[in-house]
Structure 1
């Protein structure tokens, strides 16, 4: 995979690809666009690329504030819907009329919403440990607003302290991330390499600390269902046996999905890191099946 930069209207996103974005595709292989989860980056899919690059045109991005991408401007925060706008600007730069989206966690939610808004641009949808927008009861709207603003106030008060936080070695950063995700360090090494920077002998996280601020609003179940039921592309859900249980709670009926299938594999929320052979085989079979 080679490094690429996507120039959006307000910022630049870092990416990786195995084909040229500046000329027409020289093969008829499907284009798979990978979207990572919260505080991850494009490298979370590196073990899948090794297994898929012969069969597909692959491209992945670091979302704003993640990995090697630019952060949002200092007077802005990370509104969920803005990611969908970012994704659209990326897709408009690809030399393909239709793409397949592969999203993990937050990336899966972004992919779902985008597919509902732009069905003509999406062939298939692979959602790993993620599905629909997060929802809350309408009665919680005011409390959500208050919590979101409070989290921003706390960020502003502690921003200088957060900037000063440092780690003594890459191994320390890797161990911290492994502890948080409850995964072996070997699974996370590519992710942590792309997520850290070394300055004056110390290691720092690259991601924007504003990512930790809570959302000021969430959708209701009715709104989420309206989005999910509008998706025309076939949806393939890959979930871990020890991942988020709500993802296995009959989502097709819950969200009135048009074309939906799901597989449960051994693993947790990052099952694609734990079982790259299984997940890559699932993706290959699903894309090939839909093309036949």
Structure 2
């Protein structure tokens, strides 16, 4: 496991690399998570490829977007594009969890020539807004921005309090929450703070509608695989039912675990990913 950083204009993205091999795997984490999401799966594994696990902007140790900028889903596609271009490889394999899975899918749709395979972990399709609700979605986003901009950073009494807050908002057990929050928090003057940008919790100002989501899926050329947790989010299974039929090739596995099944059942998750990547080598 080695840290790396990558400059995108005035921002620095940071992450972790695992393994050494000719084929490149770019791993994308979920909303409010970070590159540590992939440590249970990769840290002690025998890897045939080079994995690049990035922190999205505003997450983990990566820089926040500027004060006057916001976090649009589509901008993550640009972040991934710039990073992959820097690798100077012909194609990569994408692995994405939750929000990262949705980013991976849209990237594969926009740049099919750069993607050899896609592994979705507890995430598929997209979060959509009915076209009739565009105005109300934007209104909510703008009003929410005004509220968030007046708030200062929240101070926690200890790192344990931060971990407890993370446990209360998801399906993780203590070791996994501690692992994620060790990269998502820092201590200053006896108090603990989050490294994640508060603006990440703003409502989205724009989302694809269902027709746009389907159109992007239909343009994915790479073979795809979806790994579901048996106790995963119902939303993921609902999206599979709504959008699964539009993928040219989609292999599905269900394994024990919840929404973070890649952290809860890392060996089996990696086994499925590795077999899929080996079958669809880029070179």
Distance 1:278 1:96 in 2: 28
Distance 1:18 1:220 in 2: 37
SS at 1:194 equivalent: coil
Q: Kindly tell me: are residues 124 and 72 of structure 1, through their superposed partners in 2, closer, same or farther at Cα, counting changes over 3 Å?
A: same
Structure 1 partner of 2:227: 238
Structure 1 partner of 2:7: 7
Structure 2 partner of 1:214: 203
SS at 2:68 equivalent: coil
Aligned counterpart in structure 1 of residue 72 of structure 2, from 73, 79, 94: 79
Distance 1:246 1:27 in 2: 35
* TM-aligned CA deviation for residue 240 of structure 1: 1.2
Aligned counterpart in structure 1 of residue 212 of structure 2, from 219, 223, 243: 223
- How many correspondences in the alignment? 281
Structure 2 length-normalised TM: 0.94
SS at 1:15 equivalent: strand
Matched, 1:67 2:67: no
Q: Is the 1:51–1:277 contact (alpha carbons within 8 Å) kept by the matching residues of 2? A: no
* TM-aligned CA deviation for residue 253 of structure 1: 5.9
* TM-aligned CA deviation for residue 137 of structure 1: 1.5
* TM-aligned CA deviation for residue 248 of structure 1: 2.9
SS at 1:181 equivalent: coil
Structure 1 partner of 2:93: 100
* TM-aligned CA deviation for residue 246 of structure 1: 4.1
Distance 1:10 1:210 in 2: 19
Superposition RMSD on alpha carbons, in Å? 1.8
Structure 2 partner of 1:32: 25
Q: Is the 2:61–2:184 contact (alpha carbons within 8 Å) kept by the matching residues of 1? A: yes
Q: Is the 1:228–1:255 contact (alpha carbons within 8 Å) kept by the matching residues of 2? A: no
Q: Is the 1:237–1:261 contact (alpha carbons within 8 Å) kept by the matching residues of 2? A: yes
* TM-aligned CA deviation for residue 283 of structure 1: 0.9
Matched, 1:273 2:266: no
Structure 1 length-normalised TM: 0.91
Q: Kindly tell me: are residues 289 and 111 of structure 1, through their superposed partners in 2, closer, same or farther at Cα, counting changes over 3 Å?
A: same
* TM-aligned CA deviation for residue 172 of structure 1: 1.9
Structure 2 partner of 1:43: 36
Distance 1:27 1:236 in 2: 21
Distance 1:171 1:288 in 2: 40
Distance 1:136 1:244 in 2: 19
Structure 2 partner of 1:23: none
